[in-house]
Structure 1
Amino acid sequence: MGGSRRVLVAVFAAVFGAVLAAPPAAAARAADSAVAASQGAASQGADSAAAERSTDGTESTEAAAGGADSVAGRFGRQELHWGDCAGVADPALRCTEVAVPLDYHRPNGRKITIVVSRLPATDPTRRRGVLLTTGGGPGGPGVPLPSSLAPLLSSEVRARYDLIGFDMRFVERSTPIGCGQDVEEPGGYWVRTATSGSFPADTAEARAYARACVRAAGWALPHATTANAARDMDVIRAALGEEKISYLGGSYAGMLGAVYSTLFPRRVDRFVLDSPPNPDTVWRAYELARTPAFEAGTAAFAAWTAQRNADYGLGDTAQKVTDAVTGLIRRARTAPIVVAGHAWTSDELGTLLVVGIYDERSFGLVAAAFAALAAGREPFVPFPLRPLPPAGVPGVPADNHTATNMAYRCGDGPWPRDPRDYLRDIASYSERYPLFGPANANITPCAFWPRIEDEPVRLSANRSPGVLVTAALRDVAVPIANSRAVAARIRGSRMVTIDAHTHAPYPAYGNACLNGAVDAFLTTGTLPAADVAC
């Protein structure tokens, strides 16, 4: 049980990871000074920023080079002051604030603050540079990640890189936003399951949530995009004094790395993209396309549990297990299941199932939890089903994860605006995928979100060196087709896959073949001669 507990906690952390905080004065003043020093180059304002973009939405060669005329070049001159990291117990991890433009088309306007953490390389004599990372989600924090990642990396990788974490714009420490909710949604995701006759209420709730977000954080929403997060990464690079960066990103963070490689190909050193969503399909098409994987993951969980009916008592066939679990979720939808003083809602139980089916090593823990609920006993769930604000970090709204997740998802790509489109999808997907179709196809606040100025970034064959893409063949969270598409679009890339039912396997899954290939790339820069099937 101890092993499955660790697995489930790791999976939850990888996937999910009020008063708005003003940009800290020190970082804002530093940015103002840096911009003022380059006022002549910056005088074109929005026009110069627009000129740095090519017609396909990628940064031009000149902008990617980070010269004096680029936004990163100007903002990279700010002075960094390293100190303790709020809410992080590791004293070796140090943090600083990096000021970036709220709007990259108007770099002389308002600044916001990105909090960056650093864990130094263990051997300064062999240090190669920095290895950036951040949380998944989108909406998961990245500042604490170097401390949790370091013990999992090989000693050779640790010797060569400073591990750099950062909370993306509007996430936790980095100028956080909220939408006025008192608590997070289960899992930190706004999801509603369509039931008979529920669509009018679901639509009204989605519209109300979007309006609440506009009231609370309307100034930020147009600027919450993966492309802007990638631009922030390049400012971080420049502020750290690095010509290039290496990167390790899992799940959504892998997608962020892919977007960076398109926008700033000349700044890419060694990039590892672990189970990335395909940015060309996010987010509506992506959510619909992964519905079959959710159903397949549930079927695998049900078959595994049925073979162990003596242990869990949920049924001796996969169908009986599925009926038992979905029956509990439907029961909780009618009225929460109260056990040991906690009222278990259908959304919480659905989140427990979804997180559980992400990794086959967690099947036993999830089966035991549902078996306990079926018997009226308190289940053992070793993580909060609703993300909690970070302890010791003031000013983070109670619903920050949900708010930022929705902001990035709604801002990154087109969503249908006509509710009738969702009704058609609900009918189609509910028939083919009865377990998850009614939720994945349902309307969301993105149908009513403010329109975003920037066009989504499409991956392109570019001048960056090839990246290494890793994935599990039976990934439920981000189906393997996504990783294959990303690898195909970035010229010269290679893939390393494992035949496993898990998500974001490097390095925590512990596959020696996979970890060895990634470690070799990070330490030598040599990609495999061909794709590797571990």
Structure 2
Amino acid sequence: MGRGLALTVAIGLAGSLASAPPAAADRDDVGQVEWGACPDDVTAKAPDLNVRCGTVTVPLDYDDPDGTQIDLMVSRLASENPHKRRGVLLLNPGGPGGSALTMPAELADLGIPSKVLDTYDLIGMDTRGFGHSAPIDCGFTVGQDYIGNVPPYAVDNAAVVEQAEIAKGVAEQCAANDTDGRMAHITTANTARDLDRIRAALGEKKASYFGLSYGSALGAAYASMFPDTTDRVLIDSNLGDTALDRAGLRRYALGMEETFPDFAKWTAARNSAYGLGRTPEEVRETYFSLAERLDEKPVFGIDGRQFRFTTFGGLYAKRTYGRTAQLWEAIKDADETAVKRAKRLMAETPGAPAAAAEGASYSNSWSVFLTVTCNDVEWPSDVRAYQHSVAADREKYPLFGAGAANILPCAFWPHGPSEPQVKINDDGPTNILIMQNRHDPVTPLLGGQLFRKKFTDRSRLVTADGSGHGVYVYGGNACALNVGTAWLADGVMPEKDVMCRASG
């Protein structure tokens, strides 16, 4: 899961199920980074900034450190203030299957405070298996119409069985394309180990971290596995655990129920423009009416599954409300020209193929999402378990429950967990700031609350009275921006949890 859905979710120290804690990398183990020009797809995002790229070599299998090695590409936007520079800020935008190579420039372009740019070298990267870092590929095509991080809405038990056949085929397709044996080693735990190797290669005794969405799970794993070498950590829009597991995926439905009223209120206020309902309640009724109509008969190629998914993705930010309402309007009126226009908008929805392909191929993005998600935890393999949860969540969360609870290829994944999931380590410094919008469609408030409870005194929770996916810098809340900057730039951790009111 990413800020977009592409968006789009291991071993700890004291909290690990493994027998021994991981050792932090040191400068004797890791070569230094040699900086040079970035690939064109990175520099195109930041032609006016001096973003440089390099590689860090890491073991494919940390249990065999002298075996096969892979190169990870990293990017750097260096601090230009040596008197204020503290160190490095490692970045992750989510996914898994999202590139952070352009994230340093993106944060600068979004207006991250100069205090942060002075304090850190901003370090982006393509995580293992993705983009420029030893990519893996299941061989997906856009024509295959496979959306890897959210299963389709299942109208009944038969639809779950149908999706199970598709999911099994996808798992077999990935296994058949794993010709170099990399997939078993693409995990959150190994990516956290990679972060510590990157820290060492940069010559830093400690590294700070900022990650969103799945990046919150990676950050939680990193801080748990390496409490002595992590400095200031900010995790945003939170999964609530160190992996995207079945419970986390099902929380998508909770997030949509909590966030949809914001869209419904916005749309009702514009009823004379879109004609979708005079009140939020009428807008909600329109959603169900259109979805059921499309379940029975697609309108110019748009079915109920696509409609629900696109509406879910449209809740990621208020700036996408207009095009979501436009899609509804086109379907309601069965206007072929308008529907064709709406299909173009659907391709730009967070999590759709075009969004996933940004910065890397469509296939590579979904391949990484599935591989990490399926490798991190054990997933149920009994189709009846999914049928039961789909039926339960269809009633509990009628907007999207029967999608979020549906079956993924993880149920048939050939690799399975290669090691225990990272457990949260609450024995360490108070250095983890958790930020969460009150309403978030994919990582609801509960995720931030779960991290706060698990990290206990190591953490503080900042809850923003906002709607959408992304808080610090991305969310527009003044209080959250101030608190996050005070932590990252000045080292001021709130004494207690913070509630941030809505702000313009």
Output the TM-score relative to the length of structure 1: 0.82
Partner of 1:31: none
Q: Are 2:422 and 1:457 equivalent residues in the alignment?
A: yes
Give the distance between the partners of 1:440 and 1:523, measured in 2 at CA.
38
Quote the offset at 1:77 in angstroms: 2.2
Instruction: Please give the per-residue CA displacement for 1:275-329, whole angstroms capped at 9, x wherever unaligned.
Output: 2211267310112234223123234423432343211111234444334334444
Larger displacement relative to structure 2 (161-170 or 323-332)? 323-332
Distance 1:489-1:190 versus aligned 2 partners, 3 A rule: closer
Q: Are 2:52 and 1:94 equivalent residues in the alignment?
A: yes
Instruction: Please give the per-residue CA displacement for 1:370-429, whole angstroms capped at 9, x wherever unaligned.
Output: 2133331123738263136767x7xx6541111111111111222111112112112211
Q: Are 2:210 and 1:248 equivalent residues in the alignment?
A: yes
Kept in 2, the 8 Å contact 1:265–1:465? The answer is: no
**What one-letter code is carried by the residue in structure 1 that aligns with 2:155?**
T
Distance 1:448-1:349 versus aligned 2 partners, 3 A rule: same
Partner of 1:429: 393
Quote the offset at 1:54 in angstroms: 6.9
Partner of 2:450: 485
Give the distance between the partners of 2:404 and 2:37, measured in 1 at CA.
43
Give the distance between the partners of 1:449 and 1:263, measured in 2 at CA.
26
Partner of 2:120: 161
Give the distance between the partners of 2:305 and 2:22, measured in 1 at CA.
48
Q: Are 2:489 and 1:523 equivalent residues in the alignment?
A: yes
**What one-letter code is carried by the residue in structure 2 that aligns with 1:104?**
Y
Partner of 2:151: 191
Partner of 1:108: 66
Within the candidate set 466, 470, 474, 2:439 is matched to 474
Give the distance between the partners of 2:480 and 2:196, measured in 1 at CA.
28
Within the candidate set 363, 376, 381, 1:412 is matched to 376
Distance 1:188-1:61 versus aligned 2 partners, 3 A rule: closer
Quote the offset at 1:468 in angstroms: 1.0
Larger displacement relative to structure 2 (504-513 or 488-497)? 488-497
**What one-letter code is carried by the residue in structure 2 that aligns with 1:147?**
A
Give the distance between the partners of 1:249 and 1:281, measured in 2 at CA.
14
Give the distance between the partners of 2:299 and 2:82, measured in 1 at CA.
55
Give the distance between the partners of 2:227 and 2:18, measured in 1 at CA.
10
Quote the offset at 1:503 in angstroms: 2.0
SS at match of 2:209: strand
Kept in 2, the 8 Å contact 1:470–1:495? The answer is: yes
Quote the offset at 1:507 in angstroms: 0.8
Give the distance between the partners of 2:294 and 2:136, measured in 1 at CA.
31
Where does 1:172-211 land on structure 2 (aligned, <5 Å)? 172-183=131-142, 188-196=148-156, 197-211=158-172
SS at match of 1:124: coil
Give the distance between the partners of 1:389 and 1:199, measured in 2 at CA.
25
**What one-letter code is carried by the residue in structure 1 that aligns with 2:376?**
D
Quote the offset at 1:454 in angstroms: 0.6
Distance 1:422-1:204 versus aligned 2 partners, 3 A rule: same
Kept in 2, the 8 Å contact 1:190–1:406? The answer is: no
Partner of 2:184: 222
Give the distance between the partners of 2:106 and 2:5, measured in 1 at CA.
10
Give the distance between the partners of 1:191 and 1:328, measured in 2 at CA.
20
Distance 1:516-1:389 versus aligned 2 partners, 3 A rule: closer
Within the candidate set 310, 317, 324, 2:272 is matched to 310
Within the candidate set 277, 292, 295, 2:239 is matched to 277
**Unaligned stretches of 5+ residues in structure 2:** none
Give the distance between the partners of 1:204 and 1:187, measured in 2 at CA.
15
Instruction: Please give the per-residue CA displacement for 1:190-230, whole angstroms capped at 9, x wherever unaligned.
Output: 51221232232211111111010111126222212111110
Within the candidate set 220, 231, 246, 1:258 is matched to 220
SS at match of 1:142: coil
Quote the offset at 1:253 in angstroms: 0.7
Larger displacement relative to structure 2 (449-458 or 368-377)? 368-377
Quote the offset at 1:462 in angstroms: 2.1
Distance 1:289-1:11 versus aligned 2 partners, 3 A rule: closer
Give the count of matched residue pairs.
480
Partner of 2:464: 498
Give the distance between the partners of 1:113 and 1:185, measured in 2 at CA.
31
**What one-letter code is carried by the residue in structure 2 that aligns with 1:214?**
A
Supply the RMSD in Å over aligned alpha carbons. Answer: 2.8
Could you say which structure has the greater relative contact order, defined with CA pairs below 8 angstroms and 6 or more residues apart? Answer: 2
SS at match of 1:404: helix
**Unaligned stretches of 5+ residues in structure 1:** 1-9, 18-48
Kept in 2, the 8 Å contact 1:305–1:318? The answer is: yes
Distance 1:186-1:519 versus aligned 2 partners, 3 A rule: farther
* Percent identity (aligned): 34
**What one-letter code is carried by the residue in structure 2 that aligns with 1:515?**
L
Give the distance between the partners of 1:132 and 1:413, measured in 2 at CA.
25
Kept in 2, the 8 Å contact 1:423–1:442? The answer is: yes
Kept in 2, the 8 Å contact 1:195–1:438? The answer is: yes
Distance 1:355-1:388 versus aligned 2 partners, 3 A rule: closer
Give the distance between the partners of 2:255 and 2:58, measured in 1 at CA.
38
Partner of 2:354: 387
Quote the offset at 1:246 in angstroms: 0.9
